[in-house]
Structure 1
Amino acid sequence: MILNARLQTAQNAASSSPVVLIHGLFGSLDNLGVLARDLAYSHDVLQLDLRNHGLSPRSDEMTYAAMARDVLETLDEYGIKQVTPIGHSMGGKVAMALSALAPERLDKLVVIDIAPVAYPVRRHDKIFAAIRAVSNAGVTTRQDAAEIMRKHLAEEGVIQFLLKSFSQGGWRFNVPALWNNYDDILGWEPVPAWDRPALFIRGGESPYIQDSCRDTLLKQFPRSRAYVIAGAGHWAHAEKPQAVLRAIHRFLNDVAPV
């Protein structure tokens, strides 16, 4: 599947390998825009809408292997041979799945606030309820949609994030497919050890990467390093973008974050 994508060419002619930005659940290629705008000075940057998100094609299948294949097919479409994927949450798992599907196509790997493990806790049921309530109400404006969502969700930031994908009375993500494949999205099939540098960025207030994940993570990504963004939650790149960008730049330049 060829994904909807946006390519920015580096302003600095001495750039290294391209960067591919991969958003999380309910997102779109615009979600990592703050990273794209900065990284585009030194790297070619490809932003993607994953399947069932944004303007990319729809599918009943939503496994990480399938999503990783989509990324590879899109890279081939653009003639890009080797990349450094940067993925947030579900997008981080897609990036990690690429290391199993085509390990030679990855230079380095950056994962934002997700671990290579299956998660037993359903954290999105209230979000699905809010999304369905908006759809059932038949409203067409974001203002009306927000009022409905506030009856289900307390976090205004989450509501505004979701509304970025609400357009002309409909959602730009495939709600039935995401719901039907939610167990696969929570899950994870361990990948073979990938022996190249990987950076795991963790929000200091986020529950997604726990110390208990360490051994499992290192078994799959033995050359990984961790960087904690103090005071940030799951959306660390949105809450503390400069701190996240400093960690990424130091990693891409082969200097350990401090």
Structure 2
Amino acid sequence: MKLHYQLHGSGTPLVILHGLFGTLENWGSQIKALSEHFQVVAVDLRNHGRSPHAERTDYEVMAEDVISLLDDLGLDCVNLMGHSMGGKVAMQLALNHPERLKKLIVVDISPVIYPHHHQDVLTGLFSIDLEQIKSRTQADQQLSTYIEEPGVRAFLLKNLYKDDNKQFQWRMNLATLSQEYKHISAAPSGSPFSGKTLFIKGANSDYIQAEHRNAILALFPQATYKVIQDAGHWPHAEKPAIFTQLVIKFLAD
């Protein structure tokens, strides 16, 4: 699996992984800010963005995809940061290959099993008639029946593109992501990662909860955490300046 990626800046490598239904472009403002301090490697995970599609989507294979990319780039040891699903990929990589990491940053996700909470999203995405829509506005109108929040719809519809026949298609492998959702909901597992780890939580998000503390410390005994006030599940986009400062300080210490 040859993942699509972008390189920005110079210095110590910082690999960044996006969440479910996302792409590396979701990290745009952070890539710009962080590339002033690090060599940023922004990655599209399998079945997302411009990376290849495959039937299997679980954390073991997604972590190995990233390792293969590091090998191809000649990067022996990096800092690694992942958001949501990408945070679980990052955790699994740390558990499987601790020697490849300097430090780990996990954004608004815990190493636990989550109940299925994307059914409305999946139903809404499958409801869009790609053969009939002529614009993103029409797609947005169809999706609004299932998803009320305009920002969430805009995030999801970034996956739409027009092929050579001017037909709308999904960049993400929607069918496989739906079929493999149980693996995406699963928890990473393995021997504890003894390296320094930072969990960043949006104060208004419920993805990281107090009852997850034991699960976090069992796998990441050196974990610390920071809470960004007035932010939800996307603190890197909602409070970008504060987020950037936290990342730079943690990686510099």
| TM-score range relative to shorter protein | over 0.9
> Helix, strand or coil for the counterpart of 1:111?
strand
Q: Is the 8 A contact 2:113 2:185 kept in 1?
A: yes
Residue 136 and residue 164 in structure 1: after superposition, are their counterparts in 2 closer, same or farther (change >3 A)?
Answer: closer
Instruction: Give TM-score, length-normalised by structure 1.
Output: 0.93
Which residue of 55, 73, 76 maps to 1:78?
73
Q: Which residue of 1 aligns with 2:122?
A: 128
Q: Secondary structure of 2:224's match?
A: strand
CA distance in 1, matches of 2:40, 2:56: 27
Whole-angstrom CA distance in 2 between matches of 1:185 and 1:48 = 18
Output the CA distance in 2 between the equivalents of 1:238 and 1:227.
16
1:244 paired residue number? 243
Residue segments in structure 1 that go unaligned for 5+ positions in a row: none
Structure-2 residue corresponding to 1:49:
44
**In the aligned structure 2, how far is the partner of 1:218 from the partner of 1:138?**
50
1:34 aligned residue: 29
TM-superposition CA deviations, 1:159-190 (whole Å, max 9, x none): 00011111121111001110000011011142
The amino acid of 1:200's aligned partner reads F
Q: Deviations over 1:218-255 (max 9, x none)?
A: 1100111000011111111111111111111110111x
Q: Which residue matches 1:233?
A: 232
Unaligned runs of 5+ in 2: 163-167
5 Å matches for 1:50-129? 50-120=45-115, 122-129=116-123
SS of match in other structure, 1:152: coil
Say whether 1:154 aligns with 2:148.
yes
Could you say what secondary structure the match of 1:107 adopts?
strand
Conserved in 1, the CA contact under 8 Å of 2:98 and 2:195?
no
Structure 1 residue identity aligned to 2:133: V
Instruction: Assess if the C-alpha contact under 8 Å between 1:117 and 1:190 holds in 2.
Output: no
Question: Percent identity between the aligned chains?
Answer: 40
Cα deviation per residue 1:30-61 (whole Å; 9 max; x = unaligned)? 11111111110111011111000111111110
Partner of 1:109, secondary structure, is: strand
Rounded Cα–Cα distance in structure 2 between residues aligned with 1:137 and 1:127: 20
TM-score (norm 2): 0.95
Give the conservation status (yes or no) of the 8 Å contact 1:218–1:224: yes
Distance of 2:101 and 2:6 partners within structure 1: 19
The aligned counterpart of 2:15 is: 20
1:191 shift after superposition = 2.4
CA contact (8 A) 2:95 2:189 kept: no
Amino acid paired to 1:150? S
Q: CA deviation at 1:139?
A: 1.2
Residue 23 of structure 1 contacts residue 90 of structure 1 at CA under 8 Å; is this kept in 2? yes
Corresponding residue pairs, total:
248
How far residue 136 of structure 1 moved from its aligned partner, in angstroms, is: 5.6
Return the letter of the residue paired with 2:161.
S
Alpha-carbon distance in 2 for matches of 1:188, 1:95:
12
Secondary structure of 2:128's aligned partner: helix
Moved over 2 A (4+): 135-138
Whether the 8 Å CA contact 1:52–1:174 is kept in 2: the answer is: yes
